[in-house]
Structure 1
Amino acid sequence: MAKRNGSSTLSENVTKKLQSEILAGQYEPGSPLTISELAKGFDVSVAVVREALTRLATQGLVLQNPNHGFSVRMASEEELNSIIEARLINESAALRLSIAHGDLTWESNVIAVHHKLSQTPEYKEVNHKLAVREEWSDIHRQFHYELIAACPNPVLLDFCRRLWDLSDFYRHYSTPQQQVRDGRAEHKELMDAVLNRDSDRAVEIFRTHIQLTADILFDNR
Protein backbone atom coordinates (compact mmCIF):
# COMPACT_ATOMS: atom_id res chain seq x y z
CA MET A 1 0.00 0.00 0.00
CA ALA A 2 2.82 2.36 0.89
CA LYS A 3 4.44 1.69 -2.44
CA ARG A 4 1.18 2.40 -4.27
CA ASN A 5 0.69 5.64 -2.36
CA GLY A 6 4.26 6.67 -3.12
CA SER A 7 3.81 5.98 -6.81
CA SER A 8 0.56 7.92 -6.81
CA THR A 9 2.27 10.91 -5.19
CA LEU A 10 5.06 10.80 -7.76
CA SER A 11 2.50 10.71 -10.56
CA GLU A 12 0.62 13.67 -9.10
CA ASN A 13 3.84 15.67 -8.82
CA VAL A 14 4.84 14.89 -12.40
CA THR A 15 1.31 15.72 -13.58
CA LYS A 16 1.44 19.14 -11.90
CA LYS A 17 4.93 19.85 -13.24
CA LEU A 18 4.03 18.88 -16.80
CA GLN A 19 0.79 20.83 -16.61
CA SER A 20 2.69 23.90 -15.46
CA GLU A 21 5.28 23.54 -18.24
CA ILE A 22 2.62 23.08 -20.93
CA LEU A 23 0.61 26.06 -19.73
CA ALA A 24 3.79 28.13 -19.51
CA GLY A 25 4.41 27.47 -23.21
CA GLN A 26 7.53 25.35 -22.78
CA TYR A 27 6.15 22.89 -25.33
CA GLU A 28 4.85 23.96 -28.70
CA PRO A 29 1.26 22.93 -29.53
CA GLY A 30 1.34 19.56 -31.30
CA SER A 31 4.84 18.66 -30.11
CA PRO A 32 5.39 15.00 -29.08
CA LEU A 33 5.83 14.04 -25.44
CA THR A 34 8.21 11.08 -25.35
CA ILE A 35 7.66 8.98 -22.25
CA SER A 36 11.23 7.70 -21.95
CA GLU A 37 12.74 11.19 -22.26
CA LEU A 38 10.33 12.64 -19.72
CA ALA A 39 11.02 9.78 -17.32
CA LYS A 40 14.73 10.48 -17.54
CA GLY A 41 14.21 14.22 -17.11
CA PHE A 42 11.99 13.80 -14.04
CA ASP A 43 14.06 10.87 -12.72
CA VAL A 44 11.00 8.66 -12.36
CA SER A 45 9.78 5.44 -13.91
CA VAL A 46 8.12 5.17 -17.31
CA ALA A 47 4.93 4.01 -15.57
CA VAL A 48 4.76 7.21 -13.50
CA VAL A 49 5.11 9.40 -16.59
CA ARG A 50 2.55 7.36 -18.50
CA GLU A 51 0.04 7.80 -15.67
CA ALA A 52 0.73 11.54 -15.54
CA LEU A 53 0.24 11.92 -19.29
CA THR A 54 -2.97 9.91 -19.13
CA ARG A 55 -4.28 12.29 -16.46
CA LEU A 56 -3.39 15.30 -18.60
CA ALA A 57 -5.10 13.66 -21.57
CA THR A 58 -8.25 13.41 -19.46
CA GLN A 59 -7.96 17.15 -18.72
CA GLY A 60 -7.59 17.86 -22.42
CA LEU A 61 -4.09 19.39 -22.31
CA VAL A 62 -2.48 16.32 -23.88
CA LEU A 63 -3.61 14.18 -26.81
CA GLN A 64 -3.27 10.40 -26.70
CA ASN A 65 -2.97 8.47 -29.94
CA PRO A 66 -2.74 4.66 -29.73
CA ASN A 67 -0.28 4.58 -32.61
CA HIS A 68 1.76 7.71 -31.93
CA GLY A 69 1.85 8.09 -28.15
CA PHE A 70 1.25 11.44 -26.47
CA SER A 71 1.53 15.00 -27.73
CA VAL A 72 0.65 18.51 -26.61
CA ARG A 73 -2.80 19.51 -27.79
CA MET A 74 -3.03 21.63 -30.94
CA ALA A 75 -4.37 25.17 -30.96
CA SER A 76 -7.18 26.07 -33.31
CA GLU A 77 -9.47 29.06 -33.66
CA GLU A 78 -12.50 26.79 -33.99
CA GLU A 79 -11.75 24.97 -30.74
CA LEU A 80 -10.99 28.17 -28.83
CA ASN A 81 -14.30 29.64 -29.96
CA SER A 82 -16.03 26.49 -28.69
CA ILE A 83 -14.23 26.75 -25.35
CA ILE A 84 -15.17 30.40 -25.02
CA GLU A 85 -18.79 29.64 -25.86
CA ALA A 86 -18.85 26.89 -23.21
CA ARG A 87 -17.26 29.18 -20.63
CA LEU A 88 -19.72 31.95 -21.38
CA ILE A 89 -22.62 29.58 -20.80
CA ASN A 90 -21.34 27.71 -17.75
CA GLU A 91 -19.12 30.22 -15.96
CA SER A 92 -21.66 32.99 -16.43
CA ALA A 93 -24.26 30.77 -14.75
CA ALA A 94 -21.84 29.91 -11.93
CA LEU A 95 -20.99 33.59 -11.50
CA ARG A 96 -24.65 34.56 -11.17
CA LEU A 97 -25.22 31.80 -8.60
CA SER A 98 -22.09 32.78 -6.70
CA ILE A 99 -23.19 36.41 -6.52
CA ALA A 100 -26.63 35.33 -5.34
CA HIS A 101 -25.33 32.99 -2.62
CA GLY A 102 -22.03 34.58 -1.58
CA ASP A 103 -21.64 35.81 2.00
CA LEU A 104 -19.27 38.27 3.67
CA THR A 105 -16.53 35.64 3.96
CA TRP A 106 -16.73 35.04 0.22
CA GLU A 107 -16.54 38.79 -0.45
CA SER A 108 -13.46 39.03 1.78
CA ASN A 109 -11.79 36.16 -0.08
CA VAL A 110 -12.48 37.82 -3.45
CA ILE A 111 -10.97 41.09 -2.22
CA ALA A 112 -7.92 39.35 -0.74
CA VAL A 113 -7.01 37.34 -3.82
CA HIS A 114 -7.62 40.35 -6.06
CA HIS A 115 -5.16 42.35 -3.97
CA LYS A 116 -2.53 39.64 -4.43
CA LEU A 117 -3.22 39.56 -8.16
CA SER A 118 -2.96 43.33 -8.54
CA GLN A 119 0.41 43.39 -6.74
CA THR A 120 1.97 40.54 -8.73
CA PRO A 121 3.75 41.27 -12.05
CA GLU A 122 2.14 39.37 -14.92
CA TYR A 123 4.99 39.05 -17.42
CA LYS A 124 8.68 38.29 -17.47
CA GLU A 125 11.07 38.51 -20.40
CA VAL A 126 12.51 35.26 -21.73
CA ASN A 127 14.77 35.33 -24.78
CA HIS A 128 13.53 38.84 -25.66
CA LYS A 129 9.91 37.67 -25.54
CA LEU A 130 7.21 38.16 -22.96
CA ALA A 131 6.20 35.11 -20.93
CA VAL A 132 3.55 34.78 -18.24
CA ARG A 133 5.00 34.46 -14.74
CA GLU A 134 3.98 31.18 -13.08
CA GLU A 135 3.25 32.92 -9.77
CA TRP A 136 0.89 35.36 -11.47
CA SER A 137 -0.79 32.54 -13.38
CA ASP A 138 -1.53 30.66 -10.15
CA ILE A 139 -3.02 33.74 -8.48
CA HIS A 140 -4.98 34.59 -11.63
CA ARG A 141 -6.53 31.14 -11.52
CA GLN A 142 -7.36 31.59 -7.82
CA PHE A 143 -9.05 34.90 -8.53
CA HIS A 144 -11.36 33.50 -11.20
CA TYR A 145 -12.10 30.44 -9.07
CA GLU A 146 -12.94 32.62 -6.07
CA LEU A 147 -15.41 34.68 -8.08
CA ILE A 148 -17.56 31.58 -8.60
CA ALA A 149 -16.67 29.78 -5.35
CA ALA A 150 -20.01 30.59 -3.70
CA CYS A 151 -21.92 28.77 -6.43
CA PRO A 152 -23.73 25.91 -4.65
CA ASN A 153 -23.59 23.53 -7.63
CA PRO A 154 -20.40 21.37 -7.39
CA VAL A 155 -20.92 19.75 -10.79
CA LEU A 156 -21.09 23.15 -12.48
CA LEU A 157 -17.99 24.30 -10.61
CA ASP A 158 -16.02 21.21 -11.70
CA PHE A 159 -17.01 21.76 -15.31
CA CYS A 160 -15.93 25.41 -15.07
CA ARG A 161 -12.52 24.35 -13.75
CA ARG A 162 -12.02 21.92 -16.62
CA LEU A 163 -12.89 24.62 -19.13
CA TRP A 164 -10.50 26.98 -17.37
CA ASP A 165 -7.59 24.57 -17.91
CA LEU A 166 -8.31 24.46 -21.63
CA SER A 167 -8.72 28.22 -21.80
CA ASP A 168 -5.50 28.79 -19.84
CA PHE A 169 -3.57 26.82 -22.46
CA TYR A 170 -4.69 29.32 -25.08
CA ARG A 171 -4.10 32.32 -22.83
CA HIS A 172 -0.44 31.38 -22.43
CA TYR A 173 -0.17 30.59 -26.11
CA SER A 174 -1.54 34.06 -26.93
CA THR A 175 1.09 36.00 -24.95
CA PRO A 176 1.86 39.03 -27.18
CA GLN A 177 5.25 40.53 -27.96
CA GLN A 178 4.11 43.66 -26.16
CA GLN A 179 1.57 44.11 -23.40
CA VAL A 180 -1.62 45.08 -25.24
CA ARG A 181 -4.24 44.89 -22.50
CA ASP A 182 -4.73 46.38 -19.06
CA GLY A 183 -5.43 43.20 -17.13
CA ARG A 184 -5.40 44.96 -13.77
CA ALA A 185 -8.16 47.31 -14.83
CA GLU A 186 -10.20 44.41 -16.25
CA HIS A 187 -9.94 42.42 -13.04
CA LYS A 188 -10.73 45.45 -10.85
CA GLU A 189 -13.82 46.23 -12.92
CA LEU A 190 -14.97 42.61 -12.69
CA MET A 191 -14.42 42.47 -8.94
CA ASP A 192 -16.34 45.71 -8.38
CA ALA A 193 -19.34 44.45 -10.34
CA VAL A 194 -19.32 41.18 -8.37
CA LEU A 195 -19.09 42.93 -4.98
CA ASN A 196 -21.86 45.30 -6.02
CA ARG A 197 -23.98 42.19 -6.71
CA ASP A 198 -24.58 43.41 -10.25
CA SER A 199 -24.88 40.07 -12.05
CA ASP A 200 -25.66 41.51 -15.48
CA ARG A 201 -22.69 43.88 -15.38
CA ALA A 202 -20.35 41.19 -14.04
CA VAL A 203 -21.30 38.76 -16.82
CA GLU A 204 -20.88 41.49 -19.44
CA ILE A 205 -17.37 42.30 -18.18
CA PHE A 206 -16.51 38.61 -17.93
CA ARG A 207 -17.63 38.07 -21.54
CA THR A 208 -15.40 40.86 -22.82
CA HIS A 209 -12.51 39.72 -20.63
CA ILE A 210 -12.24 36.18 -21.99
CA GLN A 211 -13.10 37.10 -25.59
CA LEU A 212 -10.04 39.35 -25.65
CA THR A 213 -7.84 36.26 -25.23
CA ALA A 214 -9.06 34.93 -28.56
CA ASP A 215 -8.73 38.31 -30.23
CA ILE A 216 -5.10 38.66 -29.12
CA LEU A 217 -4.21 35.10 -30.11
CA PHE A 218 -5.53 35.11 -33.62
CA ASP A 219 -4.51 38.71 -34.35
CA ASN A 220 -0.89 37.88 -33.48
CA ARG A 221 -0.38 34.52 -35.14
Structure 2
Amino acid sequence: MAKRNGSSTLSENVTKKLKSDILTGQYKPGSPLTVSELTKGFDVSVAVVREALTRLATQGLVLQNPNYGFSVKTASEEELNSIVEARLINESAALRLSIAHGDLTWESNVIAVHHKLSQTAEYEEVDHKLFVREEWSDLHRQFHYELIAACPNPLLLDICRRLWDLSEFYRHWSFQQQPTRDGRDEHKALMDAVLGRDSDRAVEIFRTHIQLTADNLFDNR
Protein backbone atom coordinates (compact mmCIF):
# COMPACT_ATOMS: atom_id res chain seq x y z
CA MET A 1 0.00 0.00 0.00
CA ALA A 2 2.79 2.37 0.93
CA LYS A 3 4.49 1.73 -2.38
CA ARG A 4 1.28 2.42 -4.27
CA ASN A 5 0.77 5.67 -2.35
CA GLY A 6 4.34 6.69 -3.11
CA SER A 7 3.84 6.03 -6.81
CA SER A 8 0.62 8.03 -6.72
CA THR A 9 2.41 10.98 -5.10
CA LEU A 10 5.15 10.86 -7.72
CA SER A 11 2.55 10.83 -10.47
CA GLU A 12 0.77 13.81 -8.93
CA ASN A 13 4.06 15.74 -8.76
CA VAL A 14 4.95 14.95 -12.36
CA THR A 15 1.42 15.84 -13.47
CA LYS A 16 1.63 19.19 -11.69
CA LYS A 17 5.03 20.05 -13.17
CA LEU A 18 4.09 19.01 -16.70
CA LYS A 19 0.82 20.91 -16.46
CA SER A 20 2.68 24.03 -15.34
CA ASP A 21 5.21 23.68 -18.16
CA ILE A 22 2.45 23.29 -20.75
CA LEU A 23 0.41 26.21 -19.44
CA THR A 24 3.42 28.50 -19.22
CA GLY A 25 4.48 27.75 -22.78
CA GLN A 26 7.53 25.57 -22.10
CA TYR A 27 6.10 23.15 -24.65
CA LYS A 28 4.68 24.48 -27.91
CA PRO A 29 1.24 23.35 -29.13
CA GLY A 30 1.52 20.02 -30.92
CA SER A 31 5.03 19.21 -29.63
CA PRO A 32 5.66 15.53 -28.73
CA LEU A 33 5.93 14.40 -25.12
CA THR A 34 8.32 11.46 -25.29
CA VAL A 35 7.85 9.07 -22.39
CA SER A 36 11.50 7.93 -22.34
CA GLU A 37 12.81 11.51 -22.22
CA LEU A 38 10.37 12.52 -19.50
CA THR A 39 11.25 9.41 -17.51
CA LYS A 40 14.93 10.43 -17.53
CA GLY A 41 14.15 14.09 -16.86
CA PHE A 42 11.97 13.41 -13.84
CA ASP A 43 13.99 10.36 -12.73
CA VAL A 44 10.84 8.28 -12.31
CA SER A 45 9.44 5.10 -13.81
CA VAL A 46 7.71 4.80 -17.18
CA ALA A 47 4.48 3.92 -15.36
CA VAL A 48 4.57 7.20 -13.38
CA VAL A 49 5.08 9.29 -16.51
CA ARG A 50 2.35 7.46 -18.42
CA GLU A 51 -0.08 7.96 -15.56
CA ALA A 52 0.73 11.68 -15.45
CA LEU A 53 0.28 12.04 -19.21
CA THR A 54 -2.99 10.12 -19.10
CA ARG A 55 -4.27 12.45 -16.38
CA LEU A 56 -3.39 15.47 -18.48
CA ALA A 57 -5.09 13.87 -21.48
CA THR A 58 -8.34 13.62 -19.49
CA GLN A 59 -7.97 17.33 -18.67
CA GLY A 60 -7.67 18.17 -22.36
CA LEU A 61 -4.10 19.48 -22.26
CA VAL A 62 -2.41 16.42 -23.79
CA LEU A 63 -3.38 14.32 -26.81
CA GLN A 64 -2.94 10.56 -26.78
CA ASN A 65 -2.56 8.73 -30.08
CA PRO A 66 -2.16 4.93 -30.08
CA ASN A 67 0.30 5.12 -32.98
CA TYR A 68 2.28 8.24 -32.08
CA GLY A 69 2.19 8.44 -28.29
CA PHE A 70 1.55 11.66 -26.40
CA SER A 71 1.78 15.28 -27.50
CA VAL A 72 0.75 18.72 -26.31
CA LYS A 73 -2.70 19.66 -27.54
CA THR A 74 -2.81 21.71 -30.72
CA ALA A 75 -4.23 25.22 -30.89
CA SER A 76 -7.53 25.55 -32.68
CA GLU A 77 -9.46 28.73 -33.39
CA GLU A 78 -12.69 26.74 -33.34
CA GLU A 79 -11.89 25.23 -29.93
CA LEU A 80 -10.84 28.57 -28.47
CA ASN A 81 -14.10 30.15 -29.60
CA SER A 82 -15.96 27.27 -27.93
CA ILE A 83 -13.98 27.76 -24.71
CA VAL A 84 -14.66 31.50 -24.72
CA GLU A 85 -18.36 30.88 -25.33
CA ALA A 86 -18.51 28.31 -22.52
CA ARG A 87 -16.69 30.65 -20.11
CA LEU A 88 -19.01 33.51 -20.96
CA ILE A 89 -22.01 31.33 -20.16
CA ASN A 90 -20.73 29.58 -17.04
CA GLU A 91 -18.34 32.05 -15.47
CA SER A 92 -20.69 34.97 -16.02
CA ALA A 93 -23.39 33.02 -14.19
CA ALA A 94 -20.97 32.15 -11.38
CA LEU A 95 -19.88 35.77 -11.15
CA ARG A 96 -23.45 37.01 -10.80
CA LEU A 97 -24.17 34.43 -8.09
CA SER A 98 -20.95 35.28 -6.29
CA ILE A 99 -21.80 38.98 -6.26
CA ALA A 100 -25.27 38.18 -4.96
CA HIS A 101 -24.05 35.89 -2.15
CA GLY A 102 -20.63 37.30 -1.28
CA ASP A 103 -20.07 38.66 2.24
CA LEU A 104 -17.47 41.00 3.73
CA THR A 105 -14.92 38.21 4.08
CA TRP A 106 -15.26 37.45 0.38
CA GLU A 107 -14.81 41.13 -0.46
CA SER A 108 -11.67 41.26 1.69
CA ASN A 109 -10.26 38.19 -0.07
CA VAL A 110 -10.91 39.73 -3.51
CA ILE A 111 -9.10 42.92 -2.46
CA ALA A 112 -6.18 41.02 -0.92
CA VAL A 113 -5.56 38.80 -3.95
CA HIS A 114 -5.90 41.73 -6.34
CA HIS A 115 -3.34 43.69 -4.34
CA LYS A 116 -0.83 40.84 -4.55
CA LEU A 117 -1.51 40.46 -8.27
CA SER A 118 -1.09 44.15 -8.99
CA GLN A 119 2.23 44.23 -7.09
CA THR A 120 3.71 41.17 -8.82
CA ALA A 121 5.70 41.42 -12.03
CA GLU A 122 4.00 39.57 -14.84
CA TYR A 123 6.99 38.85 -17.07
CA GLU A 124 10.59 37.70 -16.75
CA GLU A 125 13.35 37.58 -19.32
CA VAL A 126 15.14 34.30 -19.95
CA ASP A 127 17.76 34.06 -22.71
CA HIS A 128 16.53 37.36 -24.17
CA LYS A 129 12.95 36.09 -24.35
CA LEU A 130 9.99 37.20 -22.24
CA PHE A 131 7.96 34.63 -20.35
CA VAL A 132 4.96 34.90 -18.04
CA ARG A 133 6.17 34.36 -14.47
CA GLU A 134 4.69 31.33 -12.71
CA GLU A 135 4.11 33.35 -9.53
CA TRP A 136 2.03 35.87 -11.47
CA SER A 137 0.09 33.10 -13.22
CA ASP A 138 -0.79 31.54 -9.86
CA LEU A 139 -2.02 34.88 -8.51
CA HIS A 140 -3.92 35.57 -11.72
CA ARG A 141 -5.71 32.26 -11.32
CA GLN A 142 -6.42 32.98 -7.63
CA PHE A 143 -7.86 36.39 -8.49
CA HIS A 144 -10.31 35.03 -11.04
CA TYR A 145 -11.24 32.13 -8.75
CA GLU A 146 -11.81 34.51 -5.84
CA LEU A 147 -14.20 36.64 -7.88
CA ILE A 148 -16.55 33.66 -8.22
CA ALA A 149 -15.70 31.97 -4.90
CA ALA A 150 -18.95 33.08 -3.23
CA CYS A 151 -21.03 31.26 -5.87
CA PRO A 152 -22.98 28.60 -3.91
CA ASN A 153 -23.09 26.09 -6.79
CA PRO A 154 -20.06 23.72 -6.56
CA LEU A 155 -20.79 22.05 -9.90
CA LEU A 156 -20.75 25.39 -11.67
CA LEU A 157 -17.47 26.29 -9.96
CA ASP A 158 -15.92 23.00 -11.07
CA ILE A 159 -16.90 23.69 -14.68
CA CYS A 160 -15.33 27.14 -14.44
CA ARG A 161 -12.07 25.70 -13.12
CA ARG A 162 -11.84 23.13 -15.91
CA LEU A 163 -12.50 25.79 -18.53
CA TRP A 164 -9.86 28.00 -16.92
CA ASP A 165 -7.10 25.45 -17.57
CA LEU A 166 -8.04 25.16 -21.23
CA SER A 167 -8.26 28.93 -21.53
CA GLU A 168 -4.88 29.37 -19.81
CA PHE A 169 -3.23 27.24 -22.47
CA TYR A 170 -4.41 29.70 -25.10
CA ARG A 171 -3.68 32.78 -22.99
CA HIS A 172 -0.02 31.86 -22.73
CA TRP A 173 0.18 31.12 -26.42
CA SER A 174 -1.55 34.44 -27.08
CA PHE A 175 1.24 36.15 -25.17
CA GLN A 176 3.79 34.64 -27.55
CA GLN A 177 1.91 36.26 -30.43
CA GLN A 178 1.13 39.62 -28.79
CA PRO A 179 3.36 40.13 -25.71
CA THR A 180 2.44 43.78 -25.06
CA ARG A 181 -0.93 43.39 -23.36
CA ASP A 182 -1.21 44.87 -19.86
CA GLY A 183 -4.25 43.59 -18.00
CA ARG A 184 -3.83 45.62 -14.79
CA ASP A 185 -6.47 48.19 -15.69
CA GLU A 186 -8.86 45.42 -16.73
CA HIS A 187 -8.40 43.60 -13.41
CA LYS A 188 -8.87 46.81 -11.43
CA ALA A 189 -12.05 47.68 -13.31
CA LEU A 190 -13.37 44.16 -12.83
CA MET A 191 -12.68 44.24 -9.10
CA ASP A 192 -14.33 47.65 -8.72
CA ALA A 193 -17.48 46.47 -10.50
CA VAL A 194 -17.64 43.33 -8.36
CA LEU A 195 -17.15 45.19 -5.09
CA GLY A 196 -19.70 47.74 -6.23
CA ARG A 197 -22.15 44.86 -6.68
CA ASP A 198 -22.74 45.91 -10.28
CA SER A 199 -23.33 42.51 -11.90
CA ASP A 200 -24.08 43.84 -15.38
CA ARG A 201 -20.93 45.97 -15.42
CA ALA A 202 -18.79 43.15 -14.03
CA VAL A 203 -20.00 40.69 -16.66
CA GLU A 204 -19.45 43.26 -19.42
CA ILE A 205 -15.84 43.83 -18.31
CA PHE A 206 -15.26 40.10 -17.90
CA ARG A 207 -16.60 39.44 -21.40
CA THR A 208 -14.20 41.94 -22.96
CA HIS A 209 -11.33 40.70 -20.79
CA ILE A 210 -11.41 37.08 -21.94
CA GLN A 211 -12.36 37.87 -25.54
CA LEU A 212 -9.04 39.69 -25.96
CA THR A 213 -7.21 36.35 -25.74
CA ALA A 214 -8.93 35.08 -28.86
CA ASP A 215 -8.56 38.43 -30.61
CA ASN A 216 -4.82 38.65 -29.87
CA LEU A 217 -4.16 35.09 -30.94
CA PHE A 218 -6.10 34.70 -34.16
CA ASP A 219 -6.82 38.23 -35.42
CA ASN A 220 -3.15 39.23 -35.50
CA ARG A 221 -1.55 36.26 -37.21
Structure 2: distance between partners of 1:7 and 1:106: 37
Partner of 2:97: 97
Partner of 2:28: 28
Q: Report if aligned partners of 2:123, 2:130 keep a CA contact under 8 Å in 1.
A: yes
Mapping of 1:114-125 within 5 angstroms? 114-125=114-125
Q: Report if aligned partners of 1:130, 1:178 keep a CA contact under 8 Å in 2.
A: no
- Displacement of 1:4 in angstroms is 1.1
Mapping of 1:98-113 within 5 angstroms? 98-113=98-113
- Displacement of 1:219 in angstroms is 3.5
- Displacement of 1:177 in angstroms is 6.5
| Pairwise CA RMSD | 1.2
Structure 1: distance between partners of 2:126 and 2:178: 13
Q: Secondary structure at the match of 2:130?
A: strand
Q: Report if aligned partners of 2:11, 2:49 keep a CA contact under 8 Å in 1.
A: yes
- Displacement of 1:26 in angstroms is 1.0
TM-score (norm 1): 0.97
Q: Which amino acid aligns with 1:148?
A: I
Q: Secondary structure at the match of 1:18?
A: helix
Name structure 2 gaps, 5 residues minimum. Answer: none
Q: Which amino acid aligns with 2:34?
A: T
Q: Which amino acid aligns with 1:167?
A: S
Q: Report if aligned partners of 1:35, 1:50 keep a CA contact under 8 Å in 2.
A: yes
1:66 maps onto 2:66 in alignment:
yes
Partner of 2:17: 17
Structure 2: distance between partners of 1:193 and 1:182: 19
Partner of 1:48: 48
Partner of 1:184: 184
1:153 maps onto 2:169 in alignment:
no
Q: Secondary structure at the match of 1:175?
A: helix
Q: Report if aligned partners of 2:123, 2:131 keep a CA contact under 8 Å in 1.
A: yes
User: For 1:161-194, what per-residue CA distance to the aligned partner results, in whole angstroms no more than 9, with x for missing partners?
Assistant: 0000000000001115665333111000000000
Mapping of 1:124-143 within 5 angstroms? 124-143=124-143
Q: Which amino acid aligns with 2:62?
A: V
- Displacement of 1:218 in angstroms is 1.6
Structure 2: distance between partners of 1:107 and 1:115: 12
Q: Report if aligned partners of 2:94, 2:151 keep a CA contact under 8 Å in 1.
A: yes
Q: Report if aligned partners of 2:178, 2:217 keep a CA contact under 8 Å in 1.
A: no
Which portions of structure 1, spanning 4 or more consecutive aligned residues, are displaced by more than 4 angstroms? 176-179
Q: Which amino acid aligns with 1:96?
A: R
Structure 2: distance between partners of 1:23 and 1:159: 18
User: For 1:21-73, what per-residue CA distance to the aligned partner results, in whole angstroms no more than 9, with x for missing partners?
Assistant: 11111111011111111011000000000010011011111011122211100
Q: Secondary structure at the match of 1:174?
A: helix
Instruction: Go from structure 1 to structure 2 and tell me whether the alpha carbon gap of 1:178 and 1:62 turns closer, same or farther (over 3 Å shift).
Output: closer
Number of residue equivalences: 221
